[in-house]
Amino acid sequence: MKVTNQLTIVASVIFALSFPDNLWSQASPTAAIDTTTALPKPRKLDIFPAISYSPETKLTLGAIGIKYFDFRKNDLETPLSQLEFFAVYTTAKQLLVEGRWEFFTSQNQWRTRGEAIYNHYTDRDYGLGNDASMLIAQVSDGNQFDTLNYLLFKADRLKFSPVVLRKIAPNLHLGVQTDLEYMFNYEPVPDSHHFLNSDSSRLTDLPISGLRSGAGLQLLYDTRDFVANPIHGSLVEVNGLVYTKWLGSDYQYSRFLVDARHYVNTFSNQTLAMRGMVSFQQSDDAIPMRGLSRTNGHKLIRGYFRGTYQDNNMVAFESEYRFPFWKEGSPSKLWQVWKRLGLVAFLSGAQTFHQLDEFAFDRFNLAAGGGLRILFNQSSRVNIRIDYAFGLAKNSDGPGNRQRGLYFFLAEAF
């Protein structure tokens, strides 16, 4: 969850740190285990409160957690299945309920992954492009009160995107996927607004409401040692989807996306994490905002609001160095809170473009930042992550201003 100008997340952090140490005293996942006997019984649930405040949401109350499922049948090589969930309500009458899952059967023969989301939330429309240069003046009661490079709006959002995969070779899965998203009850937040430059009127040309319904294939190569927080290994995900009216979609277009990640165990349990992503959309008609290639947010290019840069196509990269203070299997008697902490530093960038000839290496919008990690579950290596990031693009928050963001979530960004 992105929380710009966050005033407090102290309550949640104190809650997490206040658990007795035996909550984290699971057997080390790298320790030797006799596979002729039953696997150690895994934890069933990790949950903690999400308490925060920001000008956009006001006071936020809810919960973040992970539910674990064991379908391995004593197969040590198969990861533990998990469901991440996030549910909050704000005093600004906003509701977010989100679930993301990754389930594995024995011998990793089948796996399913995906997300289910309901949002009643305020969002931003930055229009198309790689420069966030469209300026508007919001007007309330006849008085201009703010100049922004986006149009604020409210909408309800339903999304369901399951994937079912079958193992076809070691570490390689192929399967089918669907993507359903319905945006409704669209309403601009200000009473009225007017445009401050000639291009800004294009903000209202970008469709938002309606149903996107698509289906396609996914090819997945995965050698990560841990799903939530790898030390080493790779993941390459290739997606091809077609959105068409015969599936009920209000929009027709095709999408191709490649997400490649690689993790290097540099020293002890430290990790260099690297990611590259390309996304291409093809259509003869307008593509709705949520169907575009969109950068930024808590999962991709932290430091900018999600959708600050959006267009038909995108190229993005991320690099992150993870430096945990704790060590698996260590008999250390250090202060129990200290040995659960870690630090990260990251650099990332992305650019969006409408046509391939618009791509250029000097058009990347860069971001950088760092953060704190609190080990929440040693057996699955799940961390609480608290990141602060700066968008380095000069005009991302209006003329001469840069965006920045504080992020508080469970599990790593990638």
Instruction: Please name which of 161, 125, 187, 149 lies closest in space to residue 257, comparing C-alpha atoms.
Output: 161
Please give the full DSSP string across 268-327, using - where no structure is assigned: TTEEEEEEEEEEEEE-SSPPPGGGSEE--SSSSSTTS-TTSSEESEEEEEEEEEEEES--
Specify which residues 129 forms β-bridges with: 310
Mean pLDDT over each residue of the chain, to the nearest integer:
83
Specify the higher pLDDT residue, 129 or 56. Answer: 129
Our measurement of the distance from residue 403's CA atom to the centroid of its chain's CA atoms, rounded to an integer in Å, reads: 18
The structural domains of the chain, with segments of one domain joined by +, span 2-410
CA–CA gap between residue 124 and residue 188 (Å, rounded): 10
CA–CA gap between residue 318 and residue 264 (Å, rounded): 14
Q: What is the pTM of this model?
A: 0.83
Instruction: Please name which of 387, 73, 341, 373 lies closest in space to residue 228, comparing C-alpha atoms.
Output: 373
CATH numeric code, 2-410? 2.40.160.50
Task: State whether residue 93 is helix, strand or coil.
Answer: coil
CA–CA gap between residue 5 and residue 98 (Å, rounded): 23
65 within 8 A of 97, measured Cβ to Cβ: no
Per-residue pLDDT for 177 more than 90? yes
pLDDT at 114: 95
CA–CA gap between residue 414 and residue 128 (Å, rounded): 26
pLDDT at 275: 97
CA–CA gap between residue 172 and residue 254 (Å, rounded): 24
Segment 371-390 mean pLDDT:
86
Per-residue pLDDT for 393 more than 80? yes
Residue 285: band (very low, low, confident or very high) from pLDDT cuts 50, 70, 90: confident
Per-residue pLDDT for 21 more than 70? no
Task: State whether residue 15 is helix, strand or coil.
Answer: helix
In tens, the pLDDT along 114-124 reads 999 999 988 88
Per-residue pLDDT for 81 more than 80? yes
384 within 8 A of 16, measured Cβ to Cβ: yes
Percent of the chain with pLDDT over 70: 81
Residue 287: band (very low, low, confident or very high) from pLDDT cuts 50, 70, 90: very high
Residue 205: band (very low, low, confident or very high) from pLDDT cuts 50, 70, 90: confident
Residue 18: band (very low, low, confident or very high) from pLDDT cuts 50, 70, 90: very low
Segment 354-374 mean pLDDT:
93
Query: What does residue 330 show for φ and ψ, rounded to 5 degrees?
Result: -75, 135
Specify the higher pLDDT residue, 353 or 205. Answer: 353
Residue 53: band (very low, low, confident or very high) from pLDDT cuts 50, 70, 90: low
CA–CA gap between residue 286 and residue 146 (Å, rounded): 29
In tens, the pLDDT along 215-269 reads 999 999 999 988 888 999 999 999 999 999 999 999 999 999 999 999 999 988 8
CA–CA gap between residue 38 and residue 40 (Å, rounded): 7
Percent of the chain with pLDDT over 90: 47
